[in-house]
Amino acid sequence: MPDSPASPLDLLQRVFGYPAFRGAQAEIAARVAGGGDALVLMPTGGGKSLCYQIPALLRPGTGIVVSPLIALMHDQVAALRELGIAAAYLNSSLSAEAARQVEQDFLTGRLKLLYVAPERLLTPRFLDLLGRARPALFAIDEAHCVSQWGHDFRPEYLGLNVLHERFPEVPRIALTATADALTRREIAERLDLTAARVFAASFDRPNIRYTVLEKVDVRRQLLAFLRDGHAGEAGIVYCGTRRRVEETADWLAAEGFSALPYHAGLDADTRRRHQDRFLREDGIVMVATIAFGMGIDKPDVRFVAHLDLPRSLEGYYQETGRAGRDGLPAEAWMVWGLQDVAAQRRFIEESEAEDAHKRIAHAKLDALLGLVETAACRRQALLDYFGEKSGPCGNCDNCLAPPTLWDGTEAARKLLSTVYRTGQRFGAGQVIDVLLGKRTDKVAQWGHDQLSVFGIGGELDDKRWRSVVRQLAVRGWLTVDHDAYGALKLTEAARPVLKGEERVMLREVVARRPKRTRQAAAVADLPAAEGRLFEALRDWRRRQAEEKGVPAYVILHDATLKTIAARRPASLEQLADIAGIGARKLESYGEALVALVAAVPEEA
């Protein structure tokens, strides 16, 4: 790395190997390098780390990066060292002797970047170190953790305003990949960043395809999704419970996938081993609760699947954003059912949170339900939640295979009437049996076959009536009372529908299968010659990563390998023109890569 880089762009090109900044990166770097504070909202994979790494290299002293996860610190430090940058971390994984050495390197100015967890940063010992050293800047990563309305609240983050109190002259940059207006405001207030300049990049991740389906046969649906374009690829499958995680991981393993479970109930060593395998090996499917994922820096995650409804749109956006960080095509796939909605509403109501918190939680769930129920572009709905307007994306299930709408006004009135006439005491099964005129023992026992609504719904079958129930519940006209064995109940909002004063358009539920226009990252989707070279490059990268004990993407990203395979550089000069090949990597790997390209013939 040059001792005195001429500019941020010079650093970007010579050290990191990228030809130009993206979006507001250059402006953010200049702001912080010049001593100004910044609040950065940028999607996962948007290049947030460069926004503080480059200013840290430009300013005298050591950049302090507050990071919530040990695994993330390890990988980012490994990647920086690969670039020739003096970086280290302080966390519980270090021995006392190793920690003392890092502290000494920090005090003597030998480090340009030091990663530390918020818990350690707030200790008297570390605050004393900061007072005796020279911090270049403070970067607070995953800043949404400070918000009690956010999806990854970490109480330790609440104490980070001490940085402004003790070191008012040191610039601070807070970064997050997701924050609605409420969370954004709370980040600024709690971190004393109300005077900071706010940089809000587009939340759009155009390389991610969004698909949402109603639950029919979850395992069959998931298996079809994985085998249709994702075999051998890395991905995450999120489940709502620990039991579901373990059962799904075991089932996927039996189906031939390299699947591992991850949840807070596993011991720390098992969680660490499984996360390390996911980060370091190709093709691992991690089946997890939301305990897994925050800060995951793996760029080649090709899909994120949800088998249960997430808790909010922020959570959904953050979780799906772990796919396709390298900019290559990826997929966000989800199945949901009415039971998910009922379970989440019950969870909110039974929590010990204050009423104000419950109201916000319900509003966030309603916004998520708006996304899963919409017949319009999913991406438009998602971006609109974050205050960003867009047109139809052409890359979600609703754009690729537009759903058919039908006038469900009469069906809705019949269903709501039947719920009312049966006393709002029964679940969907009994209500639908009454609509269909089925004289079951339970229908006869309660005298429901004598009601005026008995048999009035013969125009629809059981499956379509269940779809009507789900859609009315999602729109807030029905609720599901779990304390009353799943009883359906009318809400006040149902009154105009029941009276025929409001028209109801419903989605036609069919087994939709959007046309596959996805260009996967798998070698099978590359031209034959490129595929052979890409495979050879990945094998070479794997050996390098194993030798150094780092994840493969720390050596080179898939996107860089694909470019090498496509361009087939015949010299170091040609290789240096490829994004991701900086001066240090050219020096370390250039000759080997050029030789490998020459050794793999273009013709089989």
For 385-438, what is each residue's pLDDT tens digit? 888 888 899 999 999 999 888 999 999 999 999 999 999 999 888 999 999 999
Q: Which region among 298-307, 362-371, 393-402 has the lowest average model confidence (pLDDT)?
A: 362-371
The whole-angstrom separation of Cα 258 and Cα 543 is 20
Q: What is the pLDDT of residue 355?
A: 80
Q: What is the pLDDT of residue 510?
A: 58
Q: What is the pLDDT of residue 308?
A: 94
pLDDT surpassing 90 at residue 132:
yes
**251 or 372: which leads in pLDDT:** 251
> What is the rounded average pLDDT for all residues in the chain?
88
Q: What is the pLDDT of residue 20?
A: 92
Q: What is the pLDDT of residue 74?
A: 87
Q: Where are the beta strands (DSSP E) in 224-282?
A: 235-238, 258-262
> b vs e for 438-460, b when ≥16 Cβ sit within 10 Å of the residue's Cβ?
beeeebeebebbebebbebbeeb
Q: What is the pLDDT of residue 150?
A: 56
260-284 average pLDDT score = 91
pLDDT surpassing 60 at residue 4:
no
Q: Which of 90-99, 181-190, 287-296 has the highest mean pLDDT?
A: 90-99
Pairing label, strands 113-116, 87-90:
parallel
* Structure-block tokens of residue 492: 């006040």
554-559 average pLDDT score = 90
pLDDT surpassing 70 at residue 521:
no
Residue type, 375: A
| Backbone angles phi and psi of 227, in degrees to 5 | -80, -15
Q: What is the pLDDT of residue 281?
A: 86
Q: What is the pLDDT of residue 520?
A: 43
pLDDT surpassing 90 at residue 298:
no
Q: What is the pLDDT of residue 572?
A: 95
3 state DSSP class of 336 = strand
236-260 average pLDDT score = 96
What domains can you pick out in the chain, each with its CATH number?
8-200 (3.40.50.300), 208-400 (3.40.50.300), 405-507 (1.10.10.10), 523-599 (1.10.150.80)
The whole-angstrom separation of Cα 312 and Cα 332 is 15
Q: What is the pLDDT of residue 447?
A: 95
What predicted TM-score, i.e. pTM, was given to this entire model? 0.76
By percentage, how much of the chain surpasses pLDDT 90? 57
Q: What is the pLDDT of residue 518?
A: 45
The whole-angstrom separation of Cα 61 and Cα 117 is 19
Q: Contact at 8 Å (CB) between 136 and 56?
A: yes
Q: What is the pLDDT of residue 352?
A: 82
Pairing label, strands 172-176, 38-41:
parallel
Q: Contact at 8 Å (CB) between 457 and 414?
A: yes
pLDDT surpassing 50 at residue 530:
yes
Confidence band (pLDDT; 50, 70, 90) for 508?
A: confident
For 9-57, what is each residue's pLDDT tens digit?
999 999 999 999 988 999 999 999 999 999 999 887 778 999 999 999 9
**C-alpha 369, offset from chain centre:** 18
249-276 average pLDDT score = 94
For 178-215, what is each residue's pLDDT tens digit?
767 778 888 899 999 999 999 988 889 999 999 999 89
pLDDT surpassing 80 at residue 90:
yes
pLDDT surpassing 90 at residue 592:
yes
Q: Which region among 157-171, 241-255, 307-321, 508-522 has the lowest average model confidence (pLDDT)?
A: 508-522
Q: What is the pLDDT of residue 519?
A: 40
Q: What is the pLDDT of residue 525?
A: 60
**354 or 534: which leads in pLDDT:** 534
Confidence band (pLDDT; 50, 70, 90) for 357?
A: confident
485-505 average pLDDT score = 89
**293 or 47: which leads in pLDDT:** 47
Q: What is the pLDDT of residue 61?
A: 96
The whole-angstrom separation of Cα 197 and Cα 352 is 36
